[in-house]
Structure 1
Amino acid sequence: MSRHIAGDMQRYNVRPNCISPFAWSRMVGAIPTDTPEQQARVEKLKKLGTKQIAPLASDAAADVTAQIFAVHGNEIFLMGQSRPIRGMHTSAGWTLETIAGRVLPAMKQNLYPLESSNIVFS
């Protein structure tokens, strides 16, 4: 979440928050259900609604801005903020080759592993 957007828009009473729901939606309906494990995961998601999300986007949260929330059924999580953890610079500019040859190898140890939500949330 960009703190710049939150700061710039504060005078207009705009509160940019990010709400990441774990709930049934058309987008979730596109999750593959080829295996019994995938089918079970989607069936669990079908039981999660969106009614818990509305208060986070209402006047009840008027003093909350630049935050990231995850809503999973009856659980609400305040998520960590993204911050740079590694940077690289070149005065010559980046090319496909220099990114592939320098940046990606240098940052590989800092990449986050790909995890599905069922590993993180019970």
Structure 2
Amino acid sequence: MGLLDGKTILITGGGNGIGKATALMAGAMGANVVVNDLGGTLTGDDAGDAGPAESVAAEIRAAGGAAISNSDSVTDFEAVQEMIESAKKEFGGLDSIINPAGILRDGMFHKMSEDDWDSVIAVHLRGSFNVARASVEYFRDKEAGNYVFFTSTTGLIGNIGQANYGAAKLGIVGLSRILAMEGERKNIRSNVIAPFAWTRMIASIPVKDEASAQRVERMKRAMRPEQVSNLSLALCADSCDTSGQIFSVRGNEVILFSQPRPVKSMANIEGWTPESILDVCLPAMKPSMEDLGPTTSVFPYEPI
């Protein structure tokens, strides 16, 4: 008996990287898998290709599992609705959606085009809305359902040159949290994962010096897509009651992130003025403020 026997899972971005590893693992664990992948380039600026999704679905079937493929874009709401209908028609229902589909169009914000902003927001944030909105009423009707969304440390912590990506990924955190809150009474869970894994997205980051090259090589060896798949699929199990959380997977380390809560408060019974805020309030709060360090400053140690 597999952990996911009889479950049906829609996995977007399932033709490559984390999505592919998760689809193959889900099939091996007994799930029926709908493998979605546009089959496009990393920047999402081509028409796509049905081959990657079908190749993964065929591999699942060849290993004795059950899978179908789909090559539509998560940015198309009607196409996402059709993915969900296909799951119901082929496998009799849908239990979970895992949504790592994404693109990158990096660049400094002062040079970023509207198209590069809109395209990244469309795939990541609008795509996450689409898969949730197209399925949430079905999940509410059957009083069971589960979402695993993907955020990034670029959204949670920050990274230069990725304003579009960071904005989208932090937006997904807010979406997931509210889906979890609104879905609690209907047994609908939602969580997000910020993955560290060697994928074509990570491979696209420019290597500027020898130290960066060594760091990339260590990442390639130590942080693999299937390590992220383990958590993704654990969150889909019937025995999991976790919801509304932010996780990260870094090699063999599973990390639970804090969520925004007040860290310091300053009150002035006479009321603040701009001058007193500058003189008293902000200086008192400064030791509690976060610095502008990127992800590498928060995770300076080697992956386990």
Structure 1 and Structure 2 fold alike (TM over 0.5): yes
TM-score normalised by L of structure 1? 0.66
Structure 2 alignment gaps of length 5 or more: 1-172, 267-277
Indicate which of 245, 261, 264 corresponds to 1:83: 261
State the secondary structure of the residue aligned to 1:19: strand
Shift of 1:8: 0.8
| Code of the aligned partner of 1:74 | N
Are residue 52 (structure 1) and residue 230 (structure 2) matched? Answer: no
* Cα distance between partner residues in 2 of 1:61 and 1:31: 38
Q: Residue 96 of structure 1 aligns with which residue?
A: none
Q: Taking CA–CA contacts closer than 8 Å with sequence separation of 6 or more, which of the two structures ends up with the larger relative contact order?
A: 1
Find the structure with the greater CA-based Rg: 2
* Cα distance between partner residues in 1 of 2:181 and 2:206: 40
State the secondary structure of the residue aligned to 1:11: helix
CA separation of 1:76 and 1:64: change in aligned 2, threshold 3 A: same
Indicate which of 28, 39, 51 corresponds to 2:213: 39
Q: Residue 26 of structure 1 aligns with which residue?
A: 200
Higher helix share: 2
Q: Residue 68 of structure 1 aligns with which residue?
A: 246
TM-score normalised by L of structure 2? 0.31
- Any idea what the Cα deviations from partners look like across 1:85-118, whole Å, max 9, x if unmatched? 3579xxxxxxxxxxxx8x9888654431214155
Percent identity reads 35
State the secondary structure of the residue aligned to 2:243: coil
Q: Residue 91 of structure 1 aligns with which residue?
A: none
* Cα distance between partner residues in 1 of 2:227 and 2:239: 13
- Any idea what the Cα deviations from partners look like across 1:19-76, whole Å, max 9, x if unmatched? 1111112322232311111111111222221222233432256300111211111111
| Code of the aligned partner of 2:225 | T
Give the total of aligned pairs. Answer: 115
Q: Map of 1:79-118 to 2, 5 A cutoff?
A: 79-85=257-263, 108-113=286-291, 114-115=293-294, 116=296, 118=299
